[in-house]
């Protein structure tokens, strides 16, 4: 794309060739009314209010692309007339219930009605019964709906669920009189409002999607609202606290909406979470899992003293990555000063993986981010249950399929209907557990530049190729001579006689024949479908921007070191850009800041994980700590961005910083550590209060800062080990350590809207083929231990691998696994 100059209302502006006029205008602070268009999604042309004149022709600004030298006028008499009529049509029959409507105060219908000066109504639509519908966590009121289709578009283009569509409203035949009297675009709008409302693609009564709430977030009016928030508060009563979501490594920008609990109780409460939906899409955990604060805590001096004594006695601090960078630095400083061992197995495996990757790449950090996945048109995902590990990575994957007409390969052992639902251009390859190494070798084989790849690897890859003879069935046309006997009348005698003649006919016939075909044993090892090569060739026809996503199954694999080196080779010798999903919220930050150890010592203080003495933001330990929504600090995201987060709610108890000060560190506030985050690990010496947290009108992310990827000493060679063919799971059922959508940790599960009991998640297919039913109690036994759980039927997975979650603190799922997230087990009904 090249930079071009266009003129909008006599103002010369620069933009990229092919950019929509609307985006170019917005980026330069020029206002063009627009209702249905969502940045990052495809234009739907549902509202038509963005009319402008480009080089003398009327076009829709959200859909018309800028060209060099284009002259654009945003307002003419005709355009103003159309816009005014469109707004009148939108206002037809719109119930005057603004006083109680959830959207009031932030309603685009209110704004545009005022903006365009609509103070009278020229049109009418005969109304029909349009009762409000409860779709579970979302409430739809068709009476308020202006059928702008933003909800439909965001669900399809951004989220990938495609759960909503327009459906017939049921109405009288159209009154043709308006056709003559109305401006053309306003008439089209009037026509649409007569005929349509929003419905569910599933045809069911309830929404069965991944429940992100993005449709309600983008709805410009009060037609789609979060059921729990409905009628709870007016928008103007809520204080906006800019923050960063604390649930996964996506680090989404959010805003906690806070006000007092009630007239009697002046304590603050979070009522909802909002997002800048044009630039960031939340998942259901980010949107609905906000009330996990550690409530009612005060300073318990006696327990604090016990905590100090425990720290003085301890030789180990064990913790999870649900902490800020500043807290990680406090722990590291404590280690340096007092010699603690720091134990965090999940961050340690990521840290080791990054180190092994760096030994070949020469860079401290993987090279890409989810923005580049969004912009790619060929994406591969390996070693991650994408929809659960990092929903934003799934959105990026989907966005690349929908917006860039891209294609993708999803390699994972657990069959996933949500990923399959992303479209025909996604092929899922459900390989056996422990085959992630094979997948990466396959990527090298298919995509690496063999001229440059180390010869040792090229030779190894060649060994997988062979030709083999296969029998194929072919349809051929064969000539057949058929004798036909006819009765003819002799012209001379008039007698009838039989005559036989031969007739040639072509008949279709199936024949089997032997042909030599190229065979790639790597594909066979992965159980790739027979049409893999044909499909791939089709997918790659227009591909020119490649993204590879790798996830936690790779970091915990017994050959993680080799897998990391393979990832670095792919990044170095192919066009793929690499992004790694950090396992938990701040796994990347922790792995950069802390020197982590493998083995605990004799006495452990646990932070959000069990220890001999436990500090807990969940309120389950010996001394309470603040939860993430009660803290200031920074979090390092998958996009290698250090994002600030603010405290939405007050916390009256002790913090880690108080304990650290009591045993020898000195810092008034936790955020005093922000400017001391290690520069040699890519952080910057910036003060917390100087860190911004917003997006510009152009969609530029002005949040915190980006880590610098420092150079790292590389190994002298690029050797990688061959695939270890002896590596298999023991005989038995297979279970996978993963959470269902909308759950990440005990913090998400502590929240009112997401709280649920965990269990053994099994697909409908699995249950059908076994003697188990939902609700049955089973004993799951592995070589590491045993658990008794209830069976939960999960229609968001398929196939015969059962899933064990980590979000329910009553279930110690991790104890059944060694490191790798798959293990074999016996599952017996009790």
The reply on whether position 36 binds ligand FES by CB under 6 A is yes
Structure tokens at 824: 């074999």
CA-CA-CA-CA torsion sign (297, 301, 303, 309): positive
Query: Which is closer to ligand SF4, CB of 161 or CB of 632?
Result: 161
Using CB under 6 A, pick the residue from 13, 30, 41, 48 that binds ligand FES. Answer: 48
Q: Considering the complex, state which of residue 282 and residue 605 has its C-beta at the smaller distance from ligand SF4.
A: 282
219 lies in the binding site for ligand SF4 (CB under 6 A): yes
**829 touches 778 (CB < 8 A):** yes
Report the distance separating Cα 392 and Cα 389, nearest Å: 9
> Which does residue 625 bind out of ligand SF4, ligand FES, none, counting CB within 5 to 8 angstroms by kind?
none
Site string for ligand FES, 58-87 (x = CB under 6 A): --x-x-------------------------
The minimum distance between CB 193 and ligand SF4, in angstroms, equals 10
What is the rounded radius of gyration, in angstroms, for the C-alpha atoms of the chain? 31
Terminal CA-CA length for the chain: 63
Task: Give least dist CB 184 to ligand FES, A.
Answer: 14
Residue from 45, 188, 663, 712 in contact with ligand FES (CB under 6 A): 45
Among residues 163, 275, 400, 616, the one that binds ligand SF4 under rule CB under 6 A: 163
The 3-state DSSP class for residue 764 equals helix
Question: CA 780, CA 777: separation in Å to the nearest integer?
Answer: 10
In the bound state with ligand FES, the residue whose beta carbon lies nearer, of 37 and 447, is: 37
* H helix intervals, 417-472: 417-420, 436-447, 455-462
Q: How far is CA 734 from the centre of its chain?
A: 26
Smallest distance, Å, CB 734 to ligand SF4?
A: 28
CB atoms within 10 A of CB 178: 19
Q: Which helix (H) or strand (E) holds 342?
A: strand 341-343
- Binding flag, residue 144, ligand FES (CB under 6 A): no
Q: Which does 211 bind (CB under 5 to 8 A by kind): ligand FES, ligand SF4, none?
A: ligand SF4
Interface with ligand SF4, residue 224, by CB under 6 A: yes
Extended beta strands in 202-295, E state:
224-226, 239-244, 253-260, 268-274
Q: Which is nearer to ligand FES, 60 or 820 (CB)?
A: 60
Which sign, positive or negative, has the C-alpha torsion 80, 81, 86, 89?
positive
10: which residues sit within 8 A by CB, 6+ positions away?
none
596 lies in the binding site for ligand SF4 (CB under 6 A): no
Structure tokens at 581: 């999903």
Minimal distance, residue 682 CB to ligand SF4, in Å: 34
145 contact choice in ligand SF4, ligand FES, none (CB below 5 to 8 Å, kind-dependent): ligand SF4
- Binding at 209: pick from ligand FES, ligand SF4, none (beta carbon under 5-8 Å per type): ligand SF4
Interaction between residue 49 and ligand SF4 (CB under 6 A): no
Smallest separation (angstroms) from ligand FES to the CB of 68: 22
Which element (helix H / strand E) includes 614?
A: strand 613-616
- Pair 626, 274: CB distance under 8 Å: no
Residue whose C-alpha is closest to residue 621's, from 294, 184, 283 = 294
Q: Which two tokens stand for residue 638?
A: 């998958």
Sign of the Cα torsion 109, 110, 114, 118 reads positive
Closer Cβ to ligand SF4, 215 or 605, answer by number: 215
Could you say whether residue 754 binds ligand FES (CB under 6 A)? Answer: no
| Dist CA 527 CA 525 (whole Å) | 6
CB 530 within 8 A of CB 364: no
Q: Pull the structure tokens for residue 775.
A: 């609700």
The reply on whether position 72 binds ligand SF4 by CB under 6 A is: no
Among 26, 40, 48, 150, binds ligand SF4 (CB under 6 A): 150
522 binds ligand FES (CB under 6 A): no
Residue 35's binding partner among ligand FES, ligand SF4, none (Cβ under 5 to 8 angstroms by kind) is ligand FES
Minimum Å gap between C-beta 714 and ligand SF4 is 43
Q: Nearest approach, Cβ of 20 to ligand FES (angstroms)?
A: 9
35 counts as binding ligand FES under rule CB under 6 A:
yes
Secondary structure class of 247 (helix, strand, coil)? coil
Positions in the binding site for ligand FES (CB under 6 A): 34-37, 43, 45-50, 60, 62
Positions in the binding site for ligand SF4 (CB under 6 A): 138, 145-151, 154-155, 159, 161, 163-164, 198, 207, 209-215, 219-221, 223-224
């Amino acid at each position: 794309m090249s930079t071009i100059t266009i003129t909008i209302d006599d103002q010369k502006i620069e933009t990229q060739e092919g950019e929509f006029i609307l985006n170019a205008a917005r980026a330069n602070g020029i206002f063009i009314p627009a209702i249905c268009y969502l940045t990052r999604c495809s234009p739907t042309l549902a509202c038509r209010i963005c009319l402008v004149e480009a080089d003398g022709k009327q076009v829709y600004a959200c859909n018309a692309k800028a060209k060099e030298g284009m002259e654009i006028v945003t307002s003419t008499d005709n355009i103003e007339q159309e816009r005014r009529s469109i707004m009148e049509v939108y206002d037809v029959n719109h119930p005057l219930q603004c006083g109680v409507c959830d959207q009031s105060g932030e309603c685009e219908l209110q704004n545009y009605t005022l903006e365009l000066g609509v103070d009278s109504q020229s049109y009418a639509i005969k109304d029909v019964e349009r009762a409000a519908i409860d779709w579970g966590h979302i409430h739809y009121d068709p009476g308020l709906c202006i059928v702008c289709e933003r909800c439909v578009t965001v669900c399809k283009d951004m989220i990938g669920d495609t759960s909503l569509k327009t459906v017939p409203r049921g109405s009288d035949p159209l009154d043709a009189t308006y056709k003559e009297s109305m401006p053309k675009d306003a008439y089209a709008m009037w026509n649409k409002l007569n005929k349509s409302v929003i419905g569910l693609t599933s045809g069911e009564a309830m929404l069965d999607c991944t429940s992100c709430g993005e449709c309600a977030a983008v709805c410009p009016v009060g037609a789609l609202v979060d059921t729990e928030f409905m009628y709870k508060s007016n928008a103007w009563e809520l204080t906006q606290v800019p923050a960063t979501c604390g649930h996964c490594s996506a680090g989404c920008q959010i805003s906690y909406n806070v006000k007092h609990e009630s007239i009697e109780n002046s304590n603050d409460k979070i009522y909802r979470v909002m997002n800048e939906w044009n630039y960031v899409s939340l998942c259901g955990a980010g949107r609905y899992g906000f009330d996990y604060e550690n409530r009612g805590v005060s300073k318990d001096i006696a327990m604090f003293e016990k905590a100090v004594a425990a720290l003085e006695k301890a030789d180990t601090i064990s913790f999870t990555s649900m902490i800020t960078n500043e807290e990680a630095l406090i722990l590291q400083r404590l280690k340096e000063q007092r010699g603690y061992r720091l134990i965090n197995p999940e961050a340690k495996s990521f840290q080791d993986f990054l180190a092994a990757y760096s030994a070949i790449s020469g860079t401290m950090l993987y090279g890409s981010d989810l923005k580049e996945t969004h912009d790619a048109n060929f994406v591969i995902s390996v070693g991650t249950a994408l929809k659960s590990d990092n929903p934003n990575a799934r959105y990026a994957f989907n966005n690349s399929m929908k917006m860039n007409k891209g294609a993708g390969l999803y390699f994972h052992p657990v069959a996933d209907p949500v990923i399959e639902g992303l479209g025909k251009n996604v092929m899922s390859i459900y390989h056996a557990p422990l085959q992630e190494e094979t997948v990466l070798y396959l990527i090298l084989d298919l995509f690496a530049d063999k001229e440059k790849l180390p010869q040792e690897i090229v030779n190894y890859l060649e060994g997988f190729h062979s030709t083999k003879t296969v029998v194929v069935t072919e349809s051929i046309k064969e000539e057949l001579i058929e004798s036909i006997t006819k009765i003819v009348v002799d012209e001379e005698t008039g007698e009838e006689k039989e005559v036989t003649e031969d007739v040639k006919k072509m008949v279709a016939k199936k024949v089997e024949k032997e042909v030599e075909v190229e065979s790639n044993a790597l594909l066979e090892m992965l159980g790739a479908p027979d049409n893999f090569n044909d499909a791939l060739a089709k997918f790659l026809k227009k591909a020119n921007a490649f993204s590879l996503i790798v996830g936690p199954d790779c970091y915990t694999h017994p050959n993680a070191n080799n897998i990391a080196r393979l990832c670095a080779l792919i990044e170095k010798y192919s066009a793929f850009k690499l992004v790694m999903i950090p396992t938990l919220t701040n796994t990347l930050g922790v792995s950069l800041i802390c020197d982590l150890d493998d083995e605990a010592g004799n006495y452990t203080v646990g932070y959000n994980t069990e220890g001999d003495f436990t500090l807990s933001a969940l309120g389950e330990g010996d001394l309470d700590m603040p939860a993430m929504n009660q803290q200031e600090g920074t979090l390092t995201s998958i996009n290698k961005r250090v994002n600030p987060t603010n405290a939405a709610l007050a916390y009256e108890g002790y913090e880690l910083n108080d304990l650290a000060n009591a045993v020898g560190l000195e810092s008034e506030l936790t955020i005093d550590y922000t400017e001391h985050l290690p520069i040699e690990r890519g952080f910057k010496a910036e003060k917390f209060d100087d860190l911004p947290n917003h997006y510009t009108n152009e969609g530029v992310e002005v949040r915190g800062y980006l880590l610098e990827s420092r150079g790292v000493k590389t190994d002298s060679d690029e050797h990688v080990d061959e695939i270890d063919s002896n590596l298999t799971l023991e005989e038995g059922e297979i279970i996978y350590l993963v959470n269902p959508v909308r759950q990440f940790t005990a913090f998400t599960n502590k929240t009112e809207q997401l709280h649920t009991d965990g269990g053994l998640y099994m697909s409908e297919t699995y249950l059908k083929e076994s003697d188990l039913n939902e609700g049955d109690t089973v004993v799951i036994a592995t070589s590491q231990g045993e658990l008794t759980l209830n069976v939960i039927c999960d229609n968001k997975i398929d196939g015969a691998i059962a899933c064990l979650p980590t979000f329910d603190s009553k279930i110690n799922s991790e104890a059944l696994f060694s490191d790798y997230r798959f293990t074999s087990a016996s599952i017996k009904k009790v």
